[in-house]
Structure formats: C-alpha cells, structure tokens
Structure 1
C-alpha cells in the first residue's frame, strides 16, 4: 500500500502526537500520506501531508489509518465500505473492539507498506424507514440498528417479521438488530448472543422486554427483517444506526433491515484471532483507564 489516509478523531487527547508518529512511520516506508482538510487544525505543516476532502481521500487511498475508538470507526465505516477502502484502527478510546492497535503499537502501521497484514470483511446492515411505501430514512450500520422508545417512562409494542412472516410481537423498551461485529457491543449488554464475525448472521435482541417469551433470535443474512413499532400510552419510537442521531417514526412506519451490499474491511497486522480479542476486551483488564 503506497497511499494511506490518516483519519484522526480531533477530540482525542494526544491526537497530535499520534498523527505525527503515524505520518513519520508511513513516509519513512515510502507511503504518501493523505488527511482530511479539517485535520489541518493540528498544525502539522512541517509534515509531508496532502489535505483533501474526506470523500476524495477515502476514494483515493489504498487504506485508512483511523486514530480514535470504535465510535470513530463506526462513523467512517459506511463511506469506507462504499469505496472498498480497508481500515486499520488505532485505539485512542476505551475498549476498542474494532481497533487493531494500541497507541504504544503505532510502529506496526509500517506493515501496511511491507504487506504484513490481512483483511477481514465485516458484514454491514442496511436500514430503511418506509412510510406509505416510500423511503423516508436510510442508513448503514457496522454494529447495529436500534428501534427504541422516545419517552423514558413509556414502552412500545414491536412486531418483528422475517420475509413477511410474523416472528414475535412484544412490548418493551426497544429492539436491537446487530451484525456479528455488533454482538459484542450494545446487543451483548442487552443479553444477546456473541457471534463470531465469519458467521455473518443477524442477531435480534429485545431491550427490557415486558413479555416473558421475548428472547434473542439469530437470522440468516439472506432474510429481510421488518419491524413495526407502536406507541403504548402515547409513547413514540425512533430508529438509529450505530448510535447516530435517531429518526422519529410515525405510526404505521416500517423499518426494513437487510444485509448491506458492501462489507466493511478491517485490517489486521497482529496474529490474533477473534477469541483472543474477545477474552482480552471483555475482561476487566481490557479497558483503558
């Protein structure tokens, strides 16, 4: 890889030092370094960096180095998937399930230039809100699509269908439709199963169900899942993808979720498997203080 985009989370502590170190390592191995225009505020004029619009950078780059946490990767994943650009994450956040490196391991970004890496394809979800047969909202998600109540003291009724057939009908706080990558995030906290990424299933996990029979379910990636949410006692509902601002739904709206056309591509430069990462990240020692 000879052209690499560094995408930093400008709100992270120590981000300037991380950008400088990453750039110096990559350029010393002959790579051209790109960065989004807004990152020019870091004041690294002395470094051989070419600034450009983020979309153009993602399209032009052979790979991206994302300096941030899982949230930073989630915000860029859809755009990167659209262009097929692989992502190497450096954890400047907390748990960092999707990030490959810790700040003390930045030197390993040199492996992008030496070919010492592998790329994991991660299934994404595509969500649409249909209102009277027309799409009024759409988004993609690397972790999950969530249907939730708007009011903290009300519950909503949800009807889940798979390829048009009713699967379950229950009341509660919401519903999470997660990719395998997302099953270690909010879905896991809500009691859902953990699915290894290569399985490429869709996990559906109720949030605080008010119905005894409401249990987590796992679906084939070929299924088209739909959810209708109805307010109870005047409650309203909304849909959100990967924690982005929610979209308020009207009565009768249908949320349709399918496997996205393009996967996210995550770069691995260390010889660790999913279970090693799982044990480390979900243990008490896995979170940075």
Structure 2
C-alpha cells in the first residue's frame, strides 16, 4: 500500500493512559512530517489543539486517509461507524481490556510506523444496518459493526416476536430476545449466548436467541445479503429494547417492525505485519492453555 499521509487520531475520553499514548503518537507523527488532525472528543485533553486541526470525526473523515483509534473495542466501534461511509481505514491501538479489534500494543510503535509506511493489510468487515419501519417508511436507523440486539425491557416475562428471512417466515420466538451479529460480533455478546464463532472472511450473519423458551430454537447462520425482519407481537412492544453495538438505541413503533440488512459500506480495519486471526482467538479465548502451536 501507499504510505498514509493525512492521519486523524481519536481515543477514549477521560483515560489518562490513552491521552499519554496519543501525545507520544502525535510527537512521532509530527517528526515524520505527516498531517495530523485530532477528534474534538480528545483534542483539548492532549494539549495539542493549538497546533493541530481539531474537529468532529464526521467532518474530518473526507480529508484523511487513516484513522488511529486509541482505546478498547468499544472506542473503535464508535469511531469506525463515523468514518465507514468514507471508506477510511482504521487502526486500533489497545488501551482497553480484551481487544479483538484494537490489536496493536501501545508499546509497539515500530508496528505503528510500519503501518503508516504502508506495510499493512486492510481487511473489510461486514457492517449491519438496523431500520425501524412503519407504514413502509424508515422512521429510524443505525449501523452496527458487532450486533443488533432486540431484548426484553422492564419486564420479567419473555417477549414474543417473529423472524422473517427474505420475505419468508422463519420462526416464532418466545425468549428474552435475539442477537443478530456479524462475524466481527460473533466473539462479543453473541458468543456468551452460545452463538458460533464466524471467521471475519465469511459473508454471513448469525441469529442467536437469548434464553429461548424452546430448546430447539438454536442459533442460525444465514447469508449476509439476507433481509431480516423482526415482527414484535403488540403485547410485547412496550417491553422491547433495540440497541446497535450497545451504543445506539432505537424505539419500535406500535405497528412497526425491525429490519436488518447489510450496510452499504464495510469497516476497513488495518492490521500490522504478522497479524493472524487465530493468534488473536488463542490469546483472547485462552485456547490451548497458552501453549505454542505444535
């Protein structure tokens, strides 16, 4: 790849370790003569707002060719959705906990510089779009990189709803809810619900029931090109909560439905040299008790 020249930096606000890493990163990039901009969420905290452009990611996205996110997976999910439509590659530096997406250590500035010099791999990750539809019109919508979750809210009772796939009835559910996840999200909430781990190279979506009443109601993997409809029974509408990546909430209408389709733009995730997906799984999920491969 060509070296990156116009770089924006964002991170988790209010975290001193994140701010310290960003300050070091700004110093390194300035020394290489690169154009560096800062997300307004962290601009003032870095002490560099007087010498570097500061703006929202929405306004910076058309003017940059790389976004560096310092924090955890949640920070990257939030930032990635803001730049996905502009196809800006995103590099994650891990200052969080688990770190499936932010896979560069803050101590490995050598890896960061190699990425900036173009020695990297860009991987496209599927993004979903959740739409609240009423009278055939979209009244609310939001993207989701990990998952769209429909779950019971303010009630101890199960909720009742139907799933339809490409216009065909699939199932009638009585459960605590449903997780519709991408391969990226298959190692997040869906994993704790018993869903399958899907390799990010698979163009698929998983429907994972949350505590279903019927034991035969199992996770279902379908094509990412499918049109998913969730029709909630009227008596359950007031007890239903819909969220995208646990960051954006959507409210259903009394006679409406929830549609989930593939978002028209993928998340372009940047990996440093030597990145291997199964190394990440072994490290994060403790496969093989930490022993090296045979």
Contact kept? 2:129, 2:143, Cα under 8 Å = yes
TM-score normalised by length of structure 1? 0.92
State the alpha-carbon separation in 2 of the partners of residues 231 and 102 from structure 1: 49
State the alpha-carbon separation in 2 of the partners of residues 231 and 95 from structure 1: 39
State the alpha-carbon separation in 1 of the partners of residues 45 and 264 from structure 2: 36
Shift of 1:126: 1.1
Shift of 1:125: 0.5
State the alpha-carbon separation in 1 of the partners of residues 60 and 178 from structure 2: 35
Find 1:71's aligned residue among 60, 67, 74.
74
State the alpha-carbon separation in 2 of the partners of residues 128 and 171 from structure 1: 22
Contact kept? 1:125, 1:260, Cα under 8 Å = yes
Counterpart position of 2:242 = 239
Question: Per-residue CA shift, 1:230-280, capped at 9, x if unaligned?
Answer: 266786212111112422323432111111100000000131221111111
CA RMSD across the alignment: 2.0
TM-score normalised by length of structure 2? 0.91
State the alpha-carbon separation in 2 of the partners of residues 7 and 226 from structure 1: 35
State the alpha-carbon separation in 2 of the partners of residues 147 and 9 from structure 1: 27
State the alpha-carbon separation in 2 of the partners of residues 268 and 71 from structure 1: 17
Counterpart position of 1:134 = 137
Matches within 5 A, 1:215-234: 215-230=218-233
Matches within 5 A, 1:85-124: 85-124=88-127
Query: Are 1:145 and 2:118 matched, yes or no?
Result: no
Contact kept? 1:149, 1:235, Cα under 8 Å = no
State the alpha-carbon separation in 1 of the partners of residues 31 and 212 from structure 2: 55
Counterpart position of 1:84 = 87
Runs of 4+ with >6 A deviation? none
Report the CA distance shift for 1:243/1:234 in structure 2 as closer, same or farther (over 3 A): closer
Gaps spanning 5+ residues in structure 1: where?
Answer: none
Counterpart position of 2:172 = 169
